[in-house]
Chain A
């Protein structure tokens, strides 16, 4: 396999939110939303990111995009360090990495025609203007499966699935290399979801895009991504090739997660053995000592409470953070 370029390299990324106490007291504690996360994404790849609420996946995507600058760590996009980049330089490089949002009803400006919403970023980045830009808008609309006549309409005239397509077109206006898809199908009906997923795959092939696909829908993530990362309370607990992570999960949390997902096959469901996790997810303000998962882990031992497991390579292209692996 030829060595593909690394599009995104995240090293020891941390994002803490200070919790202020009282009127003038300094930060008493912090919500450790993302706590020391490292991974790489290669060109043309789709990295899936799964986890439940509070695991930090959305905060991670905001931190990578510098929409919410990280507290510590580094984010390299095509070799250029994004953290601490400011002003014009940052604005410029934003064209290389885009985001598709979850909620199709709040991700488009309701007072702006979609044509204008698509033209704006092109003009701002000097990609094209005038008649040429309008043609590009038509092409983009075609590419995402919408008619170019829709350019004069407002978002309210479209359904959820159509709005997601518009959101995808908007992300493509600036010719990005890398797109973060933050739960792009969660708000859509099942039949719509499949349409959008196929569109994303088609665009990836045609335009050589790299994706980070965030979702809580494990089956979908397993299907669409080459590699998959599982997050829990701000840390990545397992990372590896998708089918391997799902077929043979190593980390107890991944095992529990996968066993909880209902599979649309009554025969399999009837005979599945399930791992039931006790309790609720602990608060990210006061995460458990040692391994964060130890309070709910069916395999926890004494060492898990004292020492935090290292995120290390436990097999070919497989990383996990667990003492038991």
Chain B
């Protein structure tokens, strides 16, 4: 047996099966109870939001003053509000703006923040300097007040709320992506791709982006409960979703006058806010635990 052939049979070791990063991450995610609750609950809400016109027993704006402020009953499972509108239906319909705010703001933040972060982190120089100043500026300001201010200035509406949230959210994505890009950039294998003559855009997309993606995804997941909570807060103040369109925050706000006598008016919307924010946070936390970026695997 020549030395050549022998070296071909490299190791008698059993193969360490590695199916890829995301498979491993999913396995870790599955074990996290809070994360799975989050996944199930969010899935449930999405289904409700999609099929609500079919599922809801009443339209959300059907006013029935004769039956206002009624307790839970067979016709109205969760009671009615002050205008006789069915609480259950309104709660179900309110899932829509909530999901809209949550996902749209974060998707936009990702689309803006991710490329800016990667390019700034990789290239450095003037571009990075400018982007960093933006990050510094937006990080120094209390974002909730900014959102409040923007919404008031631009006329309160759902669209403007989303816009305001996008403006303050992209910075977070950009910052974390930039940071990670800067550390990935120093790795030998990136140097190797430069030495191999790969064009920069290819280095960014096929080498840096996959490393940065999990963190960006986590930033996305973490931004959602913040956005959702902001929407609830602003709608509570009357600056968010415009009536008659329902939103849990708005319903919570409107229940103010009757809260002692008619607890069903604030308990259910409040509960929905709590459960959904918890669900999104659970998702985000589960993601964070399963994609530990410090493991270079």
Interface residues of A (CB under 8 A from B): 65, 67, 90-95, 98-99, 101-103, 105-112, 120-121, 124-125, 145-147, 153-154, 156-157, 159, 162, 167, 170, 173-174, 195, 198-199
B7 at the interface (CB under 8 A from A): yes
Docked complex Cα distance between A106 and B197 (Å): 19
Chain B residues, CB < 8 A from A154 = 18, 20
Contact for B8 among A110, A112, A121, A145, CB less than 8 A: A145
Determine if A107 and B11 form an interchain contact, defined as CB atoms under 8 angstroms apart. no
B198 at the interface (CB under 8 A from A): yes
Determine if B10 and A145 form an interchain contact, defined as CB atoms under 8 angstroms apart. yes
Interface residues of B (CB under 8 A from A): 3-4, 7-8, 10-11, 15-18, 20-21, 187-189, 191-199, 202, 206-207, 210-211, 296-297
Docked complex Cα distance between A267 and B35 (Å): 66
Determine if B207 and A98 form an interchain contact, defined as CB atoms under 8 angstroms apart. no
Docked complex Cα distance between A67 and B191 (Å): 8
Contact for B16 among A99, A103, A120, A156, CB less than 8 A: A156
Determine if B197 and A125 form an interchain contact, defined as CB atoms under 8 angstroms apart. yes
Determine if B195 and A98 form an interchain contact, defined as CB atoms under 8 angstroms apart. yes
A180: nearest residue on chain B (CB-CB)?
B195
Chain A residues, CB < 8 A from B198 = 120-121, 124
Q: List 17 A-B contacts (CB under 8 A).
A: A67-B191, A91-B199, A93-B197, A94-B197, A99-B192, A99-B195, A101-B188, A101-B192, A106-B187, A107-B188, A109-B189, A145-B10, A156-B16, A156-B297, A162-B10, A162-B11, A170-B196
Chain B residues, CB < 8 A from A67 = 191, 194-195
Determine if A95 and B211 form an interchain contact, defined as CB atoms under 8 angstroms apart. no
With A145-B8, A157-B16: A98-B188 Cβ-Cβ less than 8 Å: no
Determine if B207 and A121 form an interchain contact, defined as CB atoms under 8 angstroms apart. no
Docked complex Cα distance between A67 and B193 (Å): 11
Docked complex Cα distance between A174 and B191 (Å): 16
Chain B residues, CB < 8 A from A159 = 10-11
With A91-B199, A111-B21, A157-B16: A195-B192 Cβ-Cβ less than 8 Å: no
Docked complex Cα distance between A95 and B196 (Å): 6
Determine if B8 and A147 form an interchain contact, defined as CB atoms under 8 angstroms apart. yes
Docked complex Cα distance between A170 and B195 (Å): 11
Chain B residues, CB < 8 A from A110 = 296-297
Shortest distance from the beta carbon of B18 to any chain A beta carbon, whole Å: 5
Chain A residues, CB < 8 A from B15 = 153, 157
Determine if A107 and B189 form an interchain contact, defined as CB atoms under 8 angstroms apart. yes
Shortest distance from the beta carbon of A182 to any chain B beta carbon, whole Å: 9
Chain B residues, CB < 8 A from A109 = 189, 207
Which are the 10 A-B pairs with shortest beta-carbon distances?
Answer: A94-B197, A107-B188, A121-B196, A91-B197, A106-B188, A145-B7, A109-B189, A101-B188, A111-B210, A154-B18
Besides A110-B296, A124-B197, A162-B10, 19 other A-B contacts (C-beta < 8 A): A91-B199, A94-B196, A99-B192, A105-B296, A106-B187, A109-B189, A109-B207, A110-B297, A111-B20, A111-B211, A120-B196, A120-B202, A121-B196, A121-B197, A145-B4, A146-B8, A153-B18, A156-B297, A170-B192
Determine if B191 and A124 form an interchain contact, defined as CB atoms under 8 angstroms apart. no
Docked complex Cα distance between A111 and B8 (Å): 25
Chain B residues, CB < 8 A from A156 = 16, 18, 297
Shortest distance from the beta carbon of A256 to any chain B beta carbon, whole Å: 31
Docked complex Cα distance between A107 and B198 (Å): 15
Shortest distance from the beta carbon of B7 to any chain A beta carbon, whole Å: 5
With A106-B187, A154-B18, A156-B18: A195-B7 Cβ-Cβ less than 8 Å: yes
Chain A residues, CB < 8 A from B207 = 109, 112
Docked complex Cα distance between A178 and B264 (Å): 78
Contact for A95 among B3, B4, B194, B197, CB less than 8 A: B197
Chain A residues, CB < 8 A from B196 = 94-95, 98, 120-121, 124, 170, 173-174
Shortest distance from the beta carbon of A69 to any chain B beta carbon, whole Å: 12
Shortest distance from the beta carbon of A200 to any chain B beta carbon, whole Å: 13
Determine if B197 and A103 form an interchain contact, defined as CB atoms under 8 angstroms apart. no
Chain B residues, CB < 8 A from A170 = 192, 196
Docked complex Cα distance between A90 and B198 (Å): 11
Shortest distance from the beta carbon of A48 to any chain B beta carbon, whole Å: 21
Determine if A94 and B195 form an interchain contact, defined as CB atoms under 8 angstroms apart. yes
Chain B residues, CB < 8 A from A99 = 191-192, 195
A98: nearest residue on chain B (CB-CB)?
B195
Chain A residues, CB < 8 A from B211 = 111
Docked complex Cα distance between A146 and B21 (Å): 24
Determine if B191 and A108 form an interchain contact, defined as CB atoms under 8 angstroms apart. no
Shortest distance from the beta carbon of B10 to any chain A beta carbon, whole Å: 6
Shortest distance from the beta carbon of A314 to any chain B beta carbon, whole Å: 35
Determine if A124 and B16 form an interchain contact, defined as CB atoms under 8 angstroms apart. no
Docked complex Cα distance between A268 and B25 (Å): 56
A108: nearest residue on chain B (CB-CB)?
B189
Determine if B197 and A92 form an interchain contact, defined as CB atoms under 8 angstroms apart. yes
Docked complex Cα distance between A15 and B297 (Å): 35
Determine if A124 and B202 form an interchain contact, defined as CB atoms under 8 angstroms apart. yes
Shortest distance from the beta carbon of A75 to any chain B beta carbon, whole Å: 14
Shortest distance from the beta carbon of B3 to any chain A beta carbon, whole Å: 8
A146: nearest residue on chain B (CB-CB)?
B10
Chain B residues, CB < 8 A from A147 = 8, 10
